[in-house]
Structure 1
Amino acid sequence: MRPGRIQEGSDVKIASADVVISSPGRNFVTLVLKTDDGLVGLGDATVNGRELAVASYLRDHVAPILIGRDAHAIEDTWQYLYRGAYWRRGPITMAAIAAVDVALWDLKAQAAGLPLYQILGGRSRNAIRAYGHAYGTDLDELTDSVRALLEQGFGAVRVQVSTPGIGGGYGVAEAGDGGYEPARGQRPVEEPFDPGRYVRSVPAMFDKLRNTFGPELDLLHDVHHRLTPIQAARLGKSLEGYAPYWLEDVSPAENQAALRLVRQHTTVPLATGETFNSVFDYLQLFADQSIDYVRSSVTHAGGITGLRRILDMAAVGQVKSAIHGPTDVSPVGLAAALHLDLALHNFGIQEFMQHVDLTFEVFDVGYSFANGYFQPGERPGLGVSLDARAAERFPYRAAYLPVGRLLDGTVHDW
């Protein structure tokens, strides 16, 4: 073999790489890899509001260079796409790499005739605990929403309510909407926000829920990057008596040093990272012990290979997983998360935002949920298949997340 040439690996090669864009309830970007021996692997590459960008990245730049590669060389392919492109990181690049990575893991597990979690090391637990989303335009409506999740068996609930005097807001459905789903419209909706009113109102929400449901229910709250570090510290300190399971994304995550200040002022557990896509985004947070939960998704953090690197480093500091599970992560991405959840030692909890029924006309899944817990299922690979004909019935529809503005009109984090 000549120096500089890669030695041939397995006899199984990637024969085709296709990108499917479909909107069964919302937009999804799915990579379909086929091998020359007939196996089909799926990967999720959905980037909410920028779906066409990642689809182009995959179709025009990644798919052509995958054909003929060893389908079992997962690590080499990951490095080939990450290091070989020169331009590294970022949500579009890492979602594209994630789609390839997950599809290759799907193929490898199918070739072995095993569910993916077995290839990842086997079970570390019997089931995967999940938390649901409750919301309301006022405290009574929120209480009813929490109660409905308890009836489904959830023991952990993310709680969001409209800020009094403003209305709407992150995590709250529009009136008559019937469900919380923020991606909509040909251009972003603009929503008002007032940090002062918000910080003053959240303790009342926790007080109402603790008095209604008692101390055993785990309550989570998402600030969604909307506070300064000192505002976040004040909020955390005011909530300590209510023992939140966590506060999520209390301040814009680009400024990692900000969370050190928040940590100094409150003992409320902190979660962050759903907008992170690389282990390098976490280095200071792990070194400073500034967070308790990692919120990155398989879909946006370089796949199973990329996210497992992050979570292995997190484990050194007793930081746990809390993999992002919104509806803009497709059933393919959720299935990948569940297999990883089951195998990880430092698993914490899994987010579960339920897909609409239309989604399952395109994606057939082997995972199941009951009484607050997931099982990834025993089908070989991810356990998810895609109906290409059904996908064609749901063409792409432009949809964007809202934009936040302060009451004086200043653009703010949403």
Structure 2
Amino acid sequence: MPKITAARVITTCPGRNFVTLKIETDAGVYGVGDATLNGRELAVASYLEDHVVPCLIGRDAHRIEDTWQYLYRGAYWRRGPVTMSAIAAVDMALWDIKAKVAGLPLYQLLGGACRQGCMVYGHANGETIEETLQEAERYIEQGYRAVRLQSGVPGLKSTYGVSKDKDFYEPADADLPTENLWSTEKYLRSAPELFAAARERLGWDVHLLHDAHHRMTPIEAARLAKDLEPYRLFWLEDAVPAENQESFRPIRQHSTTPLAVGEVFNSIWDCKQLIEEQLIDYIRATVLHAGGITQMRRIASLADLYRVRTGCHGATDLSPITMSAALHFGLSIPNFGIQEYMRHTDDTNTVFPHGYRFSDGYLRPGEQPGLGVDIDEDAAEQFPYRRAYLPVNRLQDGSMHDW
């Protein structure tokens, strides 16, 4: 059995910061895992270097479940995004090694393919409704079957999801946090207008999605979900902060608009009530921030019992390593729903060469052994770490609000 002989943390910034764990074995096979936590990258790098890597040396690389339990149960201070991102990096790298040793693409070790590919959605955004719809048409022309729509809110200088660069959106935009102003009242008036125009312009053969980014109270979210019902959204994402899982009950009671949440979750416990009480329709936890493929399989199995499907977060704050892992995972489970797909820059793709590809609205992970993605360390060295923060959000009276 391959023994772990070394593990190294690689931090690089080809347009944005990524943290990668590379695990090497005495069999000459290595695996890679993503450890990126947007805006807190060095915290995870330190956790790995100072606390995790010393515990890996000499361990059997094939004992993935045991290693996961060792790093989770063996740490008295459990959970949290830093710990779970570090565990996920180890978990991805070990699955990569196991599949390479087997000579198979990872999805084959997870039970084989349940579908031909993973349907993905792109991000169409603009300062105005017209600009957003033009971007949506561009995505549809490229073959996308599903598009997320975000548009500027009249009366607000900036709006979440609306970017200057339409292809490579990166919200971590400054050396210290920028401050945005927000008005839920203005947003609640403009969002239904966006989707009324979208259905008239784009028709009904394309799936439409929307991200509210945790900015409403439950009753405000219920109002928006009800107002959007005529436009048959694929989902309304992150309607309210989900620390209190019961917050989704009033929304569910007032509307049949499908609900999605979970990109900031880091444990199955964060979504247990949401799933068991069928308060959501899609769970958006990520392979990276929710503890790796090992725990995501448990989350998906629980969700499948209640007809909840997956819709994993897939923004550019995840490296191509996580994207590939998400595709192998999504291909293999029965209750896959959709995969978010934000394209990485050419520099990022050079640092992380990969085999997955987009065609006809789907991403396919490819047939290379393992995850089918690697890190070019020479290229990574050309892009040193740069501190970057996500913005913070205030209401118009100056009080802090959820970003």
> TM-score, normalized by length of structure 1?
0.96
Aligned partner letter, 1:393 = Q
Cα distance in structure 2, aligned partners of 1:150 and 1:12 = 46
Kept in 2, the 8 Å contact 1:127–1:342? The answer is yes
Aligned partner of 1:350 in structure 2 is: 339
CA contact under 8 A between 2:125 and 2:166: conserved in structure 1?
A: no
CA displacement at 1:177 relative to structure 2: 7.7
Q: For 1:294, which of 283, 287, 293 is the aligned residue?
A: 283
Question: Deviations along 1:202-236, whole A, 9 cap, x unmatched?
Answer: 00000110110111211100000000000000000
Does the 8 A contact of 1:137 with 1:167 survive in 2? no
Partner residue of 2:203 out of 214, 219, 222: 214
Q: Distance in 1 between matches of 2:360 and 2:382?
A: 33
Task: Write the distance in 1 (CA, Å) between the matches of 2:63 and 2:96.
Answer: 13
Question: Secondary structure of 2:353's match?
Answer: strand
SS at match of 1:386: coil
1:23 alignment partner in structure 2? 13
The residue number in structure 1 matching 2:138 is 148
- Give, in angstroms, the shift of residue 44 of structure 1: 0.3
How far 1:33 sits from its partner (Å)?
Answer: 0.2
Note the aligned Cα RMSD (angstroms). 0.9
Task: Classify the secondary structure of the residue corresponding to 1:380.
Answer: coil
Where 1:216 maps in the other structure, the secondary structure is coil
Classify 1:383/1:179 alpha carbon distance in 2 versus 1 (closer, same or farther; 3 Å): closer
- Does residue 204 (structure 1) correspond to residue 200 (structure 2)? The answer is no
Question: Once the 2 structures are TM-superposed, how far is the Cα of residue 42 of structure 1 from its aligned partner?
Answer: 0.3
Structure 2: where are the runs of 5+ without partners? none
**Superposition misfits of 4+ residues, deviation over 2 angstroms:** 176-180
Give the one of 11, 28, 34 matched to 1:38.
28
Q: Which residue of 2 aligns with 1:241?
A: 230
Q: Within the alignment, does 1:411 sit opposite 2:400 as a pair?
A: yes
Q: Structure 1: which amino acid aligns with 2:12? A: S
Alpha-carbon distance in structure 2 between the residues aligned to 1:178 and 1:79: 39
State which of 99, 104, 112 in structure 2 corresponds to 1:109.
Answer: 99
Q: Is the 8 Å Cα contact of residues 292 and 320 (structure 1) preserved in structure 2?
A: yes
Task: Identify the residue that residue 368 of structure 1 maps to in structure 2.
Answer: 357
1:21 aligns to what SS in structure 2? strand
Tell me, what secondary structure is at the counterpart of 2:27? coil
CA distance in 1, matches of 2:400, 2:166: 25
Q: 1:268 aligns with which of 253, 257, 281?
A: 257
Contact 2:168/2:343, CA 8 A, preserved across alignment: no
What secondary structure does 1:348 align onto?
A: coil
Structure 2 length normalisation: TM-score? 0.99
User: How far apart in 2 are the matches of 1:190 and 1:371?
Assistant: 39
Counterpart CA distance in 2 for 1:288 and 1:306 is 20
Partner residue in 2 for 1:173: 163
Inter-CA distance 31–247: structure 2 relative to 1 (3 Å threshold): same
What secondary structure is seen at the aligned counterpart in 2 of 1:81? helix
Amino acid across the alignment from 1:203: P
Letter in 1 for 2:326: A
Quote the Cα distance in structure 2 between the aligned partners of 1:320 and 1:163: 30
Read off the aligned partner of 1:117 and give its amino acid letter. Y
Displacement of 1:17 after TM fit?
A: 0.4
Task: Find the aligned partners of 1:157 and 1:344 in 2 and give their Cα distance.
Answer: 23
| 2:348 matched residue in structure 1 | 359
SS at match of 2:181: strand
CA distance in structure 1 between the partners assigned to 2:167 and 2:72 by the alignment: 41
**Aligned twin of 1:4:** none
SS in 2 for 1:197: helix
- Paired with 1:327 and 1:344, the residues of 2 have a C-alpha distance of 23
Instruction: Give secondary structure in 1 for the equivalent of 2:287.
Output: coil
Q: Distance in 2 between matches of 1:282 and 1:353?
A: 24
Pairing 1:225–2:209 present: no
**Deviation at residue 181 of structure 1 after TM alignment:** 1.6
Which amino acid in the other structure matches residue 274 of structure 1? E
* Secondary structure of residue in 2 paired with 1:271: strand
> Structure 1 217/177 Cα, relative in aligned 2: closer, same or farther at 3 Å?
closer
Counterpart-to-counterpart distance in 2, 1:199 and 1:275: 24
8 Å Cα contact 1:102-1:336 kept in structure 2: yes
Cα deviation, residue 370, structure 1: 1.1
Aligned residue for 2:307?
A: 318
The letter of the residue matching 1:90 is G
Contact 2:120 2:361 in 1 (8 A): yes
Matches within 5 A, 1:396-407: 396-407=385-396
Query: Identity of aligned pairs, percent?
Result: 58
Q: Following TM superposition, by how much is the alpha carbon of 1:188 offset from its aligned partner in structure 2, in angstroms?
A: 1.0
Q: State the alpha-carbon separation in 2 of the partners of residues 368 and 284 from structure 1.
A: 35
Q: Which residue of 232, 235, 245 corresponds with 1:256?
A: 245
Matched, 1:137 2:137: no
Count of residues in correspondence between the two structures: 403
Structure 2 match to 1:3: none
Q: Which amino acid aligns with 1:144?
A: Q
- Alpha-carbon distance between aligned partners in 2 of 1:361 and 1:130, rounded to the nearest angstrom: 22
